[in-house]
Amino acid sequence: MESAHYFSAQPAGPSTRKPLTVDLVGATRHLQTSSGIFSPDGIDKGTAVLLSEVPPPSPRGNLLDIGCGWGPVALTMGLMAPSAQVHAVDVNERCIALTNENAASLGLTNVKASRPEEVPADVEFSTIWSNPPIRIGKDELHSLLLTWLPRLAPGGNAWLVVQKNLGSDSLQRWLAAELDSTFTVTRESTSKSFRILRVRKASL
């Protein structure tokens, strides 16, 4: 599948729904997926590394999943932090619909997927998790990250999974240079050719 296909608001071709069975937060979940989205057949390797390597999200406040796909990250956050509000953003309308439907099927009233511009501008995030869309291109990726990472709440953490051969080390250096002095950027771990990067906002 061409990368541009699932980065479009309205992907080309018909939306073909099908059932998806995955393990999330220690249990088997029966969900829905679709054609024209990222990793429609299950949890991709990068997201699997993210979910297995990072600490639990903040138990309260606002949490964010950047690029939600059919919802594995947002649903995991919602299951792990039932008292928090999970915002899931994507430009792909199929992803937004799927994540909302999958959240509803799991009874997760604390998960809401939407287009990025629909998230209120004054919302700050205690935790951000993302397998960012590296293949959209460097300029678009940088713009995306600089839209959301500065919205970390004081003391908040963002966890990003990036494949080593797709520029994880250069992205770490770039983030450290671009974000202001209230942020620290570190490489927390390496697993299966992926790096886990942590962006922390200093506490007040």
Exposure of 68 by Cβ count < 10 A (0-12 exposed, 13-18 middle, 19+ buried)? buried
Is the pLDDT assigned to residue 134 strictly greater than 80? yes
What pLDDT, on a 0 to 100 scale, did the predictor assign at position 9? 53
The model's pTM: 0.92
Is the pLDDT assigned to residue 3 strictly greater than 50? no
Mean pLDDT score across all residues of the chain: 92
What pLDDT, on a 0 to 100 scale, did the predictor assign at position 1? 34
CA-nearest of 29, 20, 125, 116 to 79 is 29
Share of the chain above pLDDT 70, in %: 93
Write phi, then psi, for 136 (nearest 5 degrees). -75, -10
What pLDDT, on a 0 to 100 scale, did the predictor assign at position 6? 41
Residue with structure tokens 């995955």? 22
What pLDDT, on a 0 to 100 scale, did the predictor assign at position 85? 98
What are the tens digits of pLDDT across the range 4-33? 444 545 555 667 889 999 999 999 999 999
What pLDDT, on a 0 to 100 scale, did the predictor assign at position 2? 36
Q: What is the mean pLDDT of residues 29-52?
A: 94
Is the pLDDT assigned to residue 151 strictly greater than 90? yes
Q: What is the mean pLDDT of residues 104-124?
A: 97
What pLDDT, on a 0 to 100 scale, did the predictor assign at position 202? 98
Write phi, then psi, for 111 (nearest 5 degrees). -115, 130
What pLDDT, on a 0 to 100 scale, did the predictor assign at position 14? 66
Is the pLDDT assigned to residue 176 strictly greater than 50? yes
Q: What is the mean pLDDT of residues 61-72?
A: 97
Rounded Cα–Cα distance for residues 110 and 85 (Å):
5
Is the pLDDT assigned to residue 199 strictly greater than 80? yes
Find out whether 133 and 67 touch, Cβ atoms under 8 Å.
yes
Can you list the alpha helix ranges (DSSP code H) found in 106-187? 138-148, 168-178
